[in-house]
Amino acid sequence: MEEKELYEPVKKLLESKGYQVKGEIKDIDVFGVKDHYTVAVELKTKVSLKLIYQAVDRQKLCDKVYIALPKEAIKSHQANLRSFVYLLKRLDIGLIRVTKDQASLFMESEGFDLSKSRAQSSRKKQALLKEFSLRESDENIGGMKGKKMTHYREKVLKIAQYLYEFKEKSPKEIKAYTGIIDTPNILQKNYYLWFKKVDRGIYTLSLMGIKAIEEIQK
């Protein structure tokens, strides 16, 4: 689908809402007016940063700005659709979806309330602050890929290093030595598969655990 094929469906949609519509007014793909209220729509066949730049630029001139995309373009962006829609809401840009000869409002934006968004994310913020305060090491490098150090991983490492040195111990002994309160839970869940139970209430390192500690010690 070409950009020009998006025009008629979008025009019909705006006209159904009472707008007078014309195309290519001073580089704006679709321009609508209703009682002195102005609307701009940018037509594109795929999601791009350039599209966002253009939509933001149109906000300097118009009361409301939308971007219009073919259904296929939105579908191809499915993996990041939630983040994309959130970005548009933050920027107060609406999204129109075009399917063949019909356009529909996919997402309307009515002004972004940052305070409300932060309130809804308060739990995540508390988890962020908790991880920051509990993390002892600072070996993660911003932008790094692969395994990253977390407070949970720090605790697992302490237990593993203790078992690497003392071979077989009970959760009570490990807890007393390392000071890690949730030692029993960590051993039972065995998230990294580093531990194995050798007897009732006795744990040691698995081959994976031994390998992990030896790689760290290199």
Q: Where are the domains of the chain?
A: 4-113, 151-217
Give the pLDDT of residue 140.
59
Query: Is the confidence at residue 129, as pLDDT, over 90?
Result: no
Q: How confident is the model at residue 112 (pLDDT cuts 50, 70, 90)?
A: low
- Scanning the chain, the segments in alpha helix (DSSP H) are 4-16, 49-58, 71-76, 81-91, 114-120, 122-134, 151-166, 171-178, 183-189, 207-217
What is the rounded distance in angstroms from the CA atom of residue 163 to the CA atom of residue 181?
16
* Mean predicted lDDT score pLDDT of the chain: 87
- Tell which wins on pLDDT, 171 or 139: 171
Give the pLDDT of residue 172.
94
Q: Which CATH number fits domain 4-113: 3.20.20.70, 3.40.50.720, 3.40.1350.10, 3.40.640.10?
A: 3.40.1350.10
Find out whether 211 and 194 touch, Cβ atoms under 8 Å: no
Give the pLDDT of residue 138.
74
Which DSSP letter does residue 29 get? E
Give the pLDDT of residue 127.
78
* Phi, psi dihedrals of residue 41, rounded to the nearest 5°: -130, 125
Percent of all residues in the chain with a pLDDT value above 90, rounded to a whole number: 54
Of 25, 24, 33, 93, the C-alpha closest to 57 is 93
- Tell which wins on pLDDT, 140 or 69: 69
CATH 2.40.37.10 describes domain 151-217: no
Amino acid identity of 188?
Q
Strands 37-43, 64-70: pairing kind: parallel
The predicted-structure confidence for 13-63, as pLDDT tens digits, reads as follows: 999 999 999 888 888 899 999 998 999 999 999 888 999 999 999 999 899
Please tell me which of 20-29, 145-154, 203-212 the model is most confident about, judged by mean pLDDT: 203-212
